[in-house]
Amino acid sequence: MNNSRLMTPFAAPAEGVVSLPGSKSHTNRALLCAALSEGTSRLSGVLFAEDTEAMLKAIVSLGATVEADRKNFEIEVTGLAGAPMFRDLIIDARLSGTTSRFLLPTLAAGKGEVTLDGAPQLRSRPFAEQIEALRNLGCDLEELGTPGGLPIKLASRGLEGGEVEISAETSSQFVSGLMLAAPLYPSGLKIRLVGPPVSRPYLNLTIKVMRDFGVSVDEPDGLTYIVPPGRYLAADLRIEPDASAASYFFAAASITQGRVKVVGLHRESYQGDVRFADVLEQLGAKVVWGENYIEVQGDRIRGGIFDLRDFSDTAQTLAALAAFAESDIEITGIGFIRRKETDRIAGMVTELAKCGVEAIEREDGLIVRPDLWSLRGASVDTYGDHRMAMSMALLSLRVPGVTINDHDCVAKTFPAFFSCLEGLRPKVKPRGKVVAVAAIDGPAGSGKSTVARLLATELRLPHFDTGAMYRAVAVAALRAGIDPGDQDATTDLAERTEISISDRTFIDGVDATDEIRTPEISQWVSVVAANPGVRRVLVARQRKWATELGGGVMEGRDIGTEVFPDAIFKAFVTAQPEVRARRRYDESSVQTLGDVADDLERRDRIDSTRTDSPLQVAPGAVVVDTSELTIQEVVSELASMFRSVVED
């Protein structure tokens, strides 16, 4: 069965209100506490996904009674009122790190023989720190496979508790598991951390959930946790929406310059991943913190350096978003995510490179050096990692041809991710003052002129070649004996010159269709286009043309950025430099291939660095690399995207 998903770009700003599933981290902590409690607990807003299903099955095998209302995301759990008893039990944690690392210390508190195992991917993840801590407390356990990993067999006789030291530099889940089990130990547990923990907010979430179920946790300092012996008491608990999942939708707003609201989260949420919204704000987005929602409105994406040690599950989200930034984004403090479902740093560097994004691997993070001109679609591998799939899917919002392999791996924490993302796809119905302009920008030799003309035919819309206008002014200047580099004289001439562009180009009534495409004019067009006065004159004409016709396909170098920044559809058509040079060379009977390449490089430099309306990828524009596509394939792709946005 084909388990790959070809994504379709949004081609317009994402917009909507998102109701997310419950937090995996909150759900699994609450399920275990409920299972160990005295009485019946009621949990609402529960996440039903592979990781939480693993915990559900585990607590049932330990003797808890569970009644699940999946339709309404509710669960009732009648607990064990203490430590579990078991006999020759095998628990399969599947792929779930929280299930396995939360359960292991609880199993050590019970009595009987039990084997804790999981899928091969989970077996490869580290458990050594937690295993060592439990052995130091007197637990009899044996690694049946690789030392420091699953499967683990326990001959449990209960643990007295006491004091233990543990490092949380690999995962805070080791410490959370010990805290959750600590009330079951007759002497309780004093946990001393060896060095600062990673993902500290998750430890705070553990303490919060334990307190919800009637167990206190003391924190005399930032490296010590004291849990007295006691009993968990049944509770009614509302699970927060998943803040890690929210990061993808906040990023979608930023990438597309849209507006997305996630309900159920707020500034006081216990999940540290809500801080991703602060990162977006530093990058340029507008963030509104409501009493029961967070809303992100996208804008241009700046660069910066960000330490994500405390909310590392958003690191891949930020790395994908960084592909659309205006300058470098460096992510630090996340070296430990190499030992998650996969090596997440190496994985992101590899998959971003496939999509034309330069990313440099560092010991504790990565640096993304964006170049929007180089973005391209690719077949993306996910390594069985749900966060790889969800983060790399963000590139497809503005890049066609992105295929997510093994996309079903999102079921680990967010089975409905793709349908939820699709729910933000915008629809625009042109009416009133809304002008239905399809803005096609791009560098010379990218094929944008041919594409725009054919796209207009395909969509049955008017077509206007704005580049031909600047070429026409250059021709008019040379005809009049004016130096096109003389800004004042050329501006004055542009104001007086009548230019008519349709299938043919006329300058003051004289056909100049062939003349505007000569090498001499190609040499001058960038100079003319960089003239602020000429741009002022011609941009006004371009806006007037589109408004009078009610829209159309308009192509050039600043249509989406300056002429029609509010165009309902924006695309930046590009190609690899060598491809662009070959195309121009094939059209020329005079220049050598080397001369053509040099000329394109010169024009790119002038166009992209001019002070007035430089050639840039318009914010939110779809980036289409035509290097390996036929003209018709490009036209079909753009037409499909335009129709997906514009309602009839």
Largest CA distance in the chain: 100
**The predicted structure's pLDDT at residue 647:** 65
Residue that has been written with the tokens 């000329």 in this structure: 599
**The predicted structure's pLDDT at residue 482:** 96
Virtual torsion, Cα 140, 143, 144, 149, nearest 10 deg: 150
pLDDT band at 374 (very low <50, low <70, confident <90, very high): very high
Return d(Cα 322, Cα 368) in angstroms, integer: 6
Nearest to 478 by CA among 524, 519, 510: 524
Strand partners, 500: 506
Domain 24-237: homologous superfamily in CATH: Enolpyruvate transferase domain (3.65.10.10)
Question: Is it the case that residue 137 has pLDDT exceeding 90?
Answer: yes
CATH architecture of 436-645: 3-Layer(aba) Sandwich (3.40)
Mean pLDDT of 11-38: 96
Return d(Cα 304, Cα 205) in angstroms, integer: 29
Task: Specify whether 88 is catalytic.
Answer: no
Query: What is the overall mean pLDDT for the chain?
Result: 94
Q: What is the per-residue pLDDT across 524-534, written as a single tens digit (0 to 9) for each? A: 998 998 899 99
Return d(Cα 262, Cα 637) in angstroms, integer: 31
The DSSP code for 74 is: E
Q: What is the per-residue pLDDT across 146-170, written as a single tens digit (0 to 9) for each? A: 999 999 999 999 999 999 999 988 8
| Order of all β-strands in the sheet with 293-297 | 15-18, 259-263, 293-297, 286-289
Catalytic residue among 273, 313, 406, 558: 313
3-state secondary structure 273-328: HHHHHHHHHHHCCEEEECCCEEEEECCCCCCEEEECHHHHHHHHHHHHHHHHCCCC
Return d(Cα 622, Cα 438) in angstroms, integer: 11
Distance of CA 244 to the CA centre of its chain: 11
Percent of the chain's residues with pLDDT above 70: 98
CATH architecture of 4-20+241-422: Alpha-beta prism (3.65)
**The predicted structure's pLDDT at residue 587:** 78
pTM: 0.91
**The predicted structure's pLDDT at residue 504:** 87
Question: Is it the case that residue 372 has pLDDT exceeding 50?
Answer: yes
pLDDT band at 522 (very low <50, low <70, confident <90, very high): confident
Mean pLDDT of 183-208: 96
Q: What is the per-residue pLDDT across 314-365, written as a single tens digit (0 to 9) for each? A: 999 999 999 999 999 999 999 999 999 999 999 999 999 999 999 999 999 9
- Angle at the Cα of 320 (from 316 to 322), degrees rounded to 5? 115
In which element (H, E) is residue 332 found?
A: strand 329-332
**The predicted structure's pLDDT at residue 557:** 85
Mean pLDDT of 370-378: 96
Virtual torsion, Cα 291, 297, 300, 303, nearest 10 deg: 30
| Order of all β-strands in the sheet with 224-227 | 162-166, 189-193, 224-227, 218-221
**The predicted structure's pLDDT at residue 1:** 40
Q: What is the per-residue pLDDT across 538-593, written as a single tens digit (0 to 9) for each? A: 999 988 888 888 889 999 888 999 899 888 899 999 999 999 999 888 877 668 89
Q: Please list the residue range(s) of the chain that carry CATH number 3.65.10.10.
A: 4-20+241-422, 24-237
